[in-house]
Structure 1
Amino acid sequence: MGSGPEGTEYGAEGSFRATLGLPWGSLNLGVHGVKDPDLALAGAKQRSVPNLFNAEDKTQILEVSTSAAQAAGCSDPAEIFAFFTEQCRKNLHLVLALSPIGEAFRRRVRMFPAIVNCCTIDWFMEWPEEALRGVATHFLQKVDLAKDVFTGVVEICVRMQESVFELTDRFRREVQRHYYVTPTSYLELINSFKGVLASKRDDVSGAKRRYDDGLEKVISTEEQVKTMSIQLEELRPVLKQTSAETADLMTVIEHKQEEASATQAVVAKEEEAASQQAEASRTMKEECQADLDKALPALNAALDALKSLKKGDIVEVKNMKSPPEGVITVSKALCWMFDVKPKKVTAEDGRTKIDDYWEPSKKSLWGDSKMLDRLLGYDKDHIPVEVIEKLKPLEDDPEFDPEVIKKASTAAMGICKWVRAMIVYDGVAKVVGPKKEALAQAESELAKVMGVLNEKKAELKAVQDNVSRLLADFESARKKKDDLAVQVDDCSKRLVRAEKLISGLGGEKTRWIESSKRLGEQYTNLTGDVLIGSGILAYLGTFTGRYRVDTVKSWVQLMKENQLPSAQEFSLRTVLGDEVQIRQWVIDKLPNDQVSVENAIIIQRSRRWPLMIDPQLQANQWVRKTYAGRGEQLRILRLTQNYARELEGAITYGKPTLLENVLEQLDPLLEPLLQKAIFKAGSVMMIRLGDSQCEYNKDFRFFITTKLPNPHYSPEICVQVTLLNFMATPDGLQDQMLGILVAKEEPEVERKRQNLVVES
């Protein structure tokens, strides 16, 4: 049985209830969660478990099971409960997965005989070659590998798993240390290979690309130096010729500017005279207009009065039998203006003849349908003198006032206004006429003067345009000369800089070529090297240096046998390590031996949390110093303390945590954390610890150490953590002493080594 999701002790009761769909939760029960496995297994076989349910549970079971039981023909409570028991027996399947390693299995068998008596025991051995090969083929099929390389990788994965089985037997025989290899370790090998290969391909291809870009720039600079040398030789004579042409053009421009200045002086003088003449004409025109403005208001008022007249008003006057004196006077004035002859009639005394204007006006004027148009279109500028002489006395006649005549006829009043306006306008026109003639003559003379002036201005504009064009040509020539000078100067400076760059990078070019070639070979060998490195990450953390070296040599030989590209001499430090990072680790008190450095690389690259065998506290000091140097608060916990709440806080806030001095058994509370059983609740990543949930911060780091020199961890723990052996060995101490000796005796050599690491 696997562990329950909340660590709750469900027991057999939960299993039985869930078979019929009763609410209980997950059936994935832990060995710690089964209260009485013997009772549960025996009860499942014998159809009943005594005192399993209380009265409340039985009532709920009967309520849920009644409908299904009645359909099967069961009616009373005993039959319904028996029906429920039978359904549980049919549907309930219990599977116990127990590791045979250690005393726990023996102890459980002795305590619960039903494990043997009521179970079918199936012993699962290690996976056969076909299974290993099939798993590797399935998980690696999406990796970008050539067909022959893919076949070799799958075969080597199988051989690695088998070789580690042999290695663990040898390890147990020679040094009495236990380590267990499981299918989970094999899956870790495959997953590590996929992840590390993708990462390293990006890193190596990126580094090679930078070198190639640098080489391309150097080669491009060399080509540019040759091109710039040729350009510089071509630009110098062109610059000299352009400078001479610019100087000649400046001489021509100066001569043309003198001509333009002389012409401009003449034009300015003539323009001043024309301006005076134009000002005189303008003054005369304003005087004429002022005189006209006196007559125009009356004229406009008369015209407006005429326009307001209607045909009926005219007809009304025409139809008058005995018109008033005002209408007769208006009719007489119209006859004078339109040259209508009066009719001779006998006067009232009967002896003399007098002029009658009424009848002729009725016939020729008032009866004319276009009379208003004739009035509006009257030639007011050429009224005969004799007509004005006849009309003049009417202007002073009180009976010829529009207000007086309005009483007789509206039409006659409008025409009266018009006649009076004509008299006023004629008087003004006779005064303005001579002035207009003088104005017309002045304007004619002004037009002639302006014509001559415009010709002079055109000549001046032509000269100025010519000067402007020459100046534009000069500016273009000067700009061309300046551009050429800038080009020559820029080309000379760039040529100097490029020659300095090529001179300075002369040695680097060779090194870059070699580095690019080396990185190309490294990229080709990545598949084999990363596969060996992934094997170390998955399997070899718990082994000491001698066993690691022997195993890596055998794996390198496997690469050659399967024709998989890889380096002749493998080094985990070279393939997966970062020299700058390793230098910092050593500063942070990581022992400077090969095993310790490899252990640190495994911690950095592994997907599982590390459990470090650290009797000399070397790893403990290194972890403490590393996070203290970064200014991060390292949480230090022990299983002997009440650590759950503090661990939850560290997980939530992403604080690094060190769990130290563990023994051979780990708290079941840690299982979800070791398995990284992270789930998503909404948009937040969560993890379950015991009976509570907490938010999971991706910055959280977890380290476990034990001071036991030779712990015997069960297979369950071996697959949940990355076991790392930090125990000091003679070989490791020798490496550490060598590093200390070099630092003391040859400090200059050590300083140069560290500087080289930083610079590279």
Structure 2
Amino acid sequence: MDFTNAQFTVTCDSNPALYKQCSIIWLPGWSTASMRTVPQLLLSRAVQDEEGILGHEKNGEGTLSVNDTLLECFLRIHKDVSDKLATPRRYISFICTYMHIYTKKRTDIQQKQQRLQAGVSKLTEASHVVDALKSQAAGQEHKLAEKQAKANSALQMITETMRNANTHKVEMESLKEQTERENLQLMERKKAIDVELTEIEPLIQEASAAVGNIKPESLSEIRSLRAPPDIIRDILEGVLRLMGILDTSWNSMKTFLAKRGIKEEIRSFDARRINPESRQAVEKLLIERKESFDPKNARRASVAAAPLASWVTANVKYSYVLEKIRPLEREQSKLYQNMKLTEQQIGKLSLGLTDVDKTVSDLKNQLNTYTKEAAEIEIHLNKAQETISAAEGLVGKLNDEFERWKKQLTELSKDLKELPVNSLLAAAFITYLSMAPEDLRQSLVAEWQDQLGMKNFSFTTFLGSEKEQLQWLSEGLPSDQLS
């Protein structure tokens, strides 16, 4: 019983029983609570029916959204229209139109998403296959480079081994000649050193032996002296200075003579330890106190003094000889070390020449193995490169399509997210504004867009395809959004 229907009066007049036999309850509108409850019941029932048909629960993106915000939007839009249009029947029609538009648009969007996602997945899979082939090819290239490098290395080693073998033969002959020359030089240096030592070594040995024969009583006798004679003091000063003792006082001399094993220390003293300053001081003493070191005078002063005087004189002379032959000894030592090193080099060269044939044979076997393996890898690599080139060509041709599909998927996801609001606006437009003038359409649509935060809503774009819009234009229909 829609009183806004054009046939409402005719229907009532043709059915007088409605007045005579019925009690009419006239409700021009519903309460606000009812207006909120009705869409909740209808939309909730639609969700349950949808779940039963699909066989699983759908709570994710794209299902009919039943929440307080949406219910409030239904009621707000309904109240914005004139009282003539804001009837319960139109409210029900508004809700049903929303469900119809939402369900159809969601199905269309999801089907497009599935088709595009299938294409994107296939192209992504193809791209992954190409990447895997590239990775395998890179590994094969690395192996090929390794095998080629090993083959080149083996060939180079064969060449170097043969060249080194010839070089080593020449070097070994040269080293043998050098060893013979150095051996002759060493013998000459040894003779020169022996000549220098021939005269002085007997004196040193004789003086050392004489010191060793000094009796302890003779040393004790010298130590017991309160003030020793000048001869004994001069001789002991020479001994102390040569042995590096700078304190030449009488107490120092007595302490020196009292040391355990002093005779052996003096007898085995190495003249190489005498520094030039000490030797010069003793030489000066020998010149200035020459009579003190005379064997006869020394023997008269003490039995122990004479051997010590001879020891001082002999060691001063021996020190001079050692200083003179020191360069010869250094040269002799250097020649000896060079000769030992040369002999070691000759031994290594001889051993290396013995192993040359075996080394060359092993390297040739390695070269053959690496060359064969490299050839096999190169064949497989060429086949893989052909496959990669073909696959890359195909994927490259479809790359623009791939990017376009991804962009469309993003747009469809955005459309699906905005679908509840867009469906609400479209349903409101169809239900309440289909018979309204353009100015009213424009004002209400702008108001609803502002309330719902949807600034770019287009009724014709949302419900009509590009093909349909072009057809409308070709048939002379206006292109504005409100006609």
TM superposition score category, shorter chain reference: 0.3 to 0.5
Larger RCO, structure (CA 8 Å, separation 6 or more):
2
TM-score of the pair, normalised by structure 1:
0.23
Could you say which structure has the higher strand fraction? 1
- Which structure shows the bigger proportion of residues in helix conformation? 2
